[in-house]
Amino acid sequence: MEQKTKVHAEDGKQDLTITREFDLPVELLFKAHTEPELIVQWKAIPNTTAKILKFAGMKHGSYQMQSTDSQGKIVSSVHGVIHEFIPNRKIIRTFEVENAPIGVQLEIYDFEPLTDTTSKLNMHVIYESTAIRDQVMKMPGASGYTMGMAHDRMQEIMNKLK
Amino acid sequence: MEHKTKVNAEDGKQDLTITREFDLPLELLFKAYVEPEIVAQWMGTRVLKLENKKHGSYQFETTDAKGNVVFQSNGVIHEFVPNRKITRTFEMENAPFGVQLEIYEFEKLTDGTSKLNMHVIYESAGLRDEVLKLPFAQGLNMVHNRLQEIASKL
């Protein structure tokens, strides 16, 4: 089956784009990315619990998120700062997985309305180098497949809020 | 005369590096980047906000003699390690250059000298090349000369 979440990475570049169309009005798509109670539901890696330690969704804001396994052990810790925050349109932020050798990335999220009930997410992710981007793409957690599964979960969760 | 500030931009890439050695102890070089009054002097700008910490942010504004705003910039600070490293975003407002990710590394050479290593990453190779068409290297060299001069007196 073809993945609905598409990752496009040109050879030799240090960035990539991710696109996905959702059966959701753009307002709900944006909400799924900015309401902590919703984020933890779809972002959590299977068999872990995600917790938002900080989420200041605004220009010059920041965020911090942690995932723990069933024994309460921290399996991942991520954080970043929010450069730009335009409701229902755009978020520009940094992202870093702590204690991982993959540097800091700049992420640009564009939220695009298609119709009254459908919308598209356009992500542009820029890494510190081509080598780091290529390394990230080999990690199971960062592949389009995993991202696609998270997006599937988001679609399902947000369907209930329509 | 050769510029002391070196810009290295590989063809077709969307990033570049900038290096400069200063006749300043590491601590003084770092101070020149974090103390608002010193930043204002060498950058020739007003520092409206400068929160030197992880998850902080900053905002600069430059006005001409008549008080008209000629330049505004802002960004967020992702990482802040005193005397070592600052990772931040930077955006020139009302300019078509997008947002850039900047990594500043402050390196001690000797007790009296230090080196700044900057890695600047743009949204695209096209945008980086647009920025390079500005008197970029020359401008940077000039402000770094001013930094050297002002910080030497401290």
Which pLDDT band holds residue A1 (cuts at 50, 70, 90)?
low
Instruction: List the helix and strand counts (H, then E) for chain B.
Output: 4, 8
pTM above 0.90, yes or no: yes
Q: What is the pLDDT of residue B2?
A: 79
Q: How many residues does chain B have?
A: 154
Residue A124 has pLDDT above 60, yes or no: yes
Residue contact A106–B99, C-beta within 8 A: yes
Contact A62, A85 (CB under 8 A): no
Q: What is the pLDDT of residue A77?
A: 95
Residue B98 has pLDDT above 80, yes or no: yes
Q: What is the pLDDT of residue A47?
A: 86
Using the Cβ of B89 and the Cβ atoms of chain A, whether some distance falls under 8 Å is answered with: yes
Q: Where does residue B83 fall: left (phi above 0), alpha (psi -120 to 50 degrees), or beta otherwise?
A: left
The upper half-sphere exposure of residue B41, i.e. CA atoms within 13 Å in the direction of its Cβ, equals: 17
Query: CA-based Rg of chain A, rounded to a whole angstrom?
Result: 15
Residue contact B99–A104, C-beta within 8 A: no
Q: How many CB atoms lie within 10 A of CB B78?
A: 26
The residues on A that touch B, with CB distances below 8 Å, are 13-15, 60, 62, 79-84, 92, 94, 96, 104-106, 108, 124, 126, 128-129
Q: Regarding predicted confidence, which is higher, A3 or B151?
A: B151
Residue B121 has pLDDT above 80, yes or no: yes
Question: How large is the average pLDDT for residues B124-129?
Answer: 97
Residue B140 has pLDDT above 60, yes or no: yes
CA angle centred on A125, ends A108 and B49, rounded to 5°: 50
Measured between beta carbons, which residues in chain A are less than 8 angstroms from residue B101? 94, 104-106, 126, 128
Strand partners, A6: A19
pLDDT, mean over chain B: 96
pLDDT in tens, B51-88: 999 999 999 999 998 989 999 999 999 999 999 999 99
Which pLDDT band holds residue A24 (cuts at 50, 70, 90)?
very high
Domains and CATH numbers, chain A: 13-161 (3.30.530.20)
pLDDT, mean over chain A: 94
Question: How large is the average pLDDT for residues A34-52?
Answer: 92
Closest CA to B74 of B100, B44, B40: B100
Residue contact B55–A92, C-beta within 8 A: no
Using the Cβ of B14 and the Cβ atoms of chain A, whether some distance falls under 8 Å is answered with: yes
C-alpha B85/C-alpha B116 separation (Å) is: 10
Which pLDDT band holds residue B92 (cuts at 50, 70, 90)?
very high
Residue A142 has pLDDT above 70, yes or no: no
The upper half-sphere exposure of residue A14, i.e. CA atoms within 13 Å in the direction of its Cβ, equals: 24
